[in-house]
Structure formats: structure tokens, C-alpha cells
Chain A
């Protein structure tokens, strides 16, 4: 049984905690959050120990794995403490806010005797896994131009509104588009150069839209796009991979197998339309199951620190390109 402590009970901490509860070979032991309201929630929703300080998790010798779900800019400091305490580590993406932090994490975890995994969850999303297999089986021939989109939902509101502070979150590129950057690296290999545009710094509207052009070492040209909106929109993703023998096209808005529509029940309620896309195992549970198994089997987890660092480099190059207007060669 792998005993787990989660740090940070915000959006992702809640998702991860639920996933551990679903696993038979893991036991969620404690969750840390310094917000009293969050700790109330932890006790109510999970029935596990809620602690206010992450140090209590690091010091708890019964805990094997710490799962870091605090805001991005705090990842490095938490990883450092977890390494000092000799824990296995699972950390949300992006690996860090800056290249410096990323390098420190690389150095800290080099030759580390415990496992460290990073939550690039798209590698566990069935549609993305299936598309990768299709490409690898040569179903589109030689890949040439690829496009991805991720977004359409409202600008995220995190603890102390940290997402709105570019210095802390890195904006939509580092936080959201990085999912696709990582996925594309996984499918098409390393990136040669990056040219990016973002609305960040161009408007006071509470939104960010970014469009990135990537050129891969194998020649593939990619258009990678993401958005946080200032209106209450629906989150969706799309991808399209074209090759010399075929084309893959996906739009999450068109793949929900179930739509439930219910008439309003009273004068002041509303008609409700709920699309559903059920899977027995969510991608989040799958990534966490992989991490737990990696510890048990003494193997590397699906996404290593080096891998996440290489993705981080590309994402930060895109951020830099968007700010400077320059092409960044990697």
C-alpha cells in the first residue's frame, strides 16, 4: 500500500485526492492546505487528516508519496522539501514557473533514489492516446501540419487569484497550452524553433488568447492555440494532424456520446442541457495509477522530470517569443 499526502486542496488537489481514493493500492493519508475553509472541506469530503502546513506531510514518516498541487510558482520549493524528506513525488504540470526553477528541480532530482512524476495528464486522455497510436501506425503517412486548440472556458480563478498574475502563472501558454506542447513532443519529438503571439500585454480585457507556431526537428509544422476567455464559455479541445496519406480530425464538442436535456422544474429555474462523455477511468486517475505502479514496480513514471523540463523549455520559449516578437531556436 502506497501512503499518500496531497499538498494544496484547490482545483487539482481535489481531483487528485479523489483519484487516490479510487485506487486499491494507494491510501490517502493527509492533505495540507493553509486555508481553514479548505481544511474543513478536506475533512468533510475525504474524511482524512487535514493539516495547515505542508511540513507536517514531509515529516510524516508513514507517507511514501507526496502529491504537489500548489500553484506553479511554489512547485520548486515543495519539491526541494520533498526530496529532503526522501519522498516519492508527483507534481502537477507545469514543472515550474521559470527555467531556473526547472534547472534546480532537475539538479535536485538527479540520481534521486525515489520516483518523481509530472502530471502531464493529456498523455492519459483516451482521444490523445488513440490519435498518437494512429500516427505511429502510419495511418496518416508522414505527418506535416498539425493543429491543436485548448480552451474556451473562463479565465481561471485560483487561490489569491494567482492565475491572473503573469509572474506567478506564466499565463495561458505556460499553464494551459503546455498540455499540447507536451503532447506534441510525445508524438512528434523535439522542437527546433518557436514563434508565438499572445494577447497578454495587448489588452486590459480579462482574457488571454495565444497562438504558437512550432517547427519540429522532424519537419512537422504546428499551430498550437489556447485561450482563457472573459465570458462564461465551454471548455473544449480540438486537434488535427495532416500527413501525406491522411488526416486526423478531432473536436471535443462533437464527441459527447450522451446529451441530457431537462425542462425547467419551476419558474425561476432553467432548462438544462448536459453533454456527457463517460469513461470508466478518468485520465487523472490513470496518471496517478501509473505513478503508484511506478513506485511499486520500481520503474520510471510516464512523465519524468527531464521530459517535463524539456516541455517547460518549449513553453517558456513561446512565452519569451510572444513577449519579444523574436523566433526562439532551441
Chain B
């Protein structure tokens, strides 16, 4: 095109009040993956509480009015909704780019045709749980799941619909990781290595005491620290005590609407007091008033104030209000297993000696400066 057109690909224009929005179309899934935090059965009665297509369209329109360019449709399995195509079409007609998160089992030839004709403008993201029926079906706990997943992939490939694949790494499928990586490298759009998800949330809400107890017992498992140049660079750039502010992240900048119309500050944060009912109130109000007010909150838990607020490892640590709420029911209680993992990591990086604690280190700047020589 001639000089009148400034940019023609992956436009990054001025930032609007709401650049992107996540919408969970359902919490139901036809897989029953052992690790998943959001997979109600396909026919769960929760279906009656889910937003209607009309409600979702209203939210999409409000998002566009706020300058939103991108919507992520996720779940559960978003393709389980019988009105998915209607919602997808509407989003695209509004001029939204759509990022679809799916297990691909419901990608039929006709749906793949739709994606080829009306492209989402962003690659579809497909989670992969195994490279053979035996493994995949065992993780998904559904017989025949792998065959459907594979058909979905074939349908996309045949129509040249862009997608990327992400591996969910579990003890029961790890022996197939290399096969997955080799296969992923052969996909037409594989310009970088596929994502590998090792940090799994085991629950989304604190609404099942049995599950809470089980998770608590699993939390003693040690994770292997990662030491490489990327992590060292990260430490050089981002470590330091966070202070008393509760949200040190982009809380509310990439909000997520749950399947029932409640707007959360992000995908992971489901504390009811931090969500905003879009069935009765507006997205604009949430963005202009509700979330900014949350961001100004400070921590009050004495343990948090003594430890996390003063801990120079905070950016290495997955402790955040969402994790804290999901593990303990409060927004600012230090999460012990995350604390242990972070300290292991810091020791492996040479930032801490065996008996030291992140919140007691005064010369942390020197330690970060010397991270190579330590």
C-alpha cells in the first residue's frame, strides 16, 4: 500500500481504557482433566446461570465503546456453547480480534470453515494433554478425547487456519513432551517454541472444602528450581521489596468476565468482593471507578506486612492477592508453599544462603548486582 497507510500488521495503536477483555463463555468442559481448575461437567446445572448470548453481546459492545480491540474467549471449553458461532460472528463484526482458547475437540470441519472465512485475526490457542490416545485420554479422563482433538487439529491444518499449541506438563504425560515439541516445531506457524504450562491452578474458587483439603496436602511437593540467563535477567530488572500496596500488578487492566457476568480484575482473581456484576452495572463504571479503587488498597495482614511487603524476592514469587485468596481465603496471607518454592529458587540462583529469609536481607541490591559471580 502507499504512504497513506501507516501500518499494516499487528497494529499497536494508542492505549485505550480497555485494550483487551477476557470472557469465560462457560465453566463447563467435555474433558475432565485431573489438573484443571475450571471444568464443570458438560451438563452441569450451572448452565442455567450462564450469561445469555444477548448479555455477552452487550458486554462486547460496551468493550468496543471503551476502545477494546481484542477479546479472549475461554472457558471451560468455549466451544461447548451452542451459540458460540453467533457470539464469535458478533465479536468479529464489531471489529474485535478474537483469541480463542480451546481443547480443539469441537472444531468440526464446518467450524474450521468459518475460521478460514472469517479469521479470528489472532492464532487460536490449543491446549495439548498428550500425544497418544492412551496418555491424552488418561489426562482428560475421557475415552476418545484424543481422537476428537486430533480431528480438530487436522481440520484447522487443512484450511490453513492459524493456531498455536500449548503443552500442559504433568507427571503422567511428561514422557511425551519431546514428541510434542518435535511435532509443534513442524506446524506452519511455529515461529517460536510452544508454551509449556507447569504452573497449574488447581481450583478457581474456594467452594469445595474437600478439594481445599486435598490441595493443601499436595502443596508439600517440592518443585525443581529453574536457573538460566532469563531468570537472572529478570532478577536484575525486577527484584526489590514491594511495600504495603496490595496489588503490585496490572490489577483490572486485563479484566475477565466469568461465565455468570461477573467482572474480575484478572483471569485468576475470583474473590466475590473484588468482582463487579455486569448484569446490572456497566463495564465503563468498573474500569473508571471500581478497579482504580481496588488498586489503592493496602495490605493489613501482619504476616504479610512483616514478610512479603519487605521481601526483595516478591517478583520471583507467585504470591499475589489471587493466589492468596485461592489458598487461604484472604487477599494478603503469605502462601507458604509459594514462599518455599521462591526461597528454593533464590538459593539456586545464589541470592540467599540456606538459613536466610528474603524479607530480612538488607543488602539485596548488592546480591542482585553480583548475581553472576555468586
Asked whether A and B interact, the reply is: no
Interfacial residues, chain A to chain B (CB-CB below 8 A): none
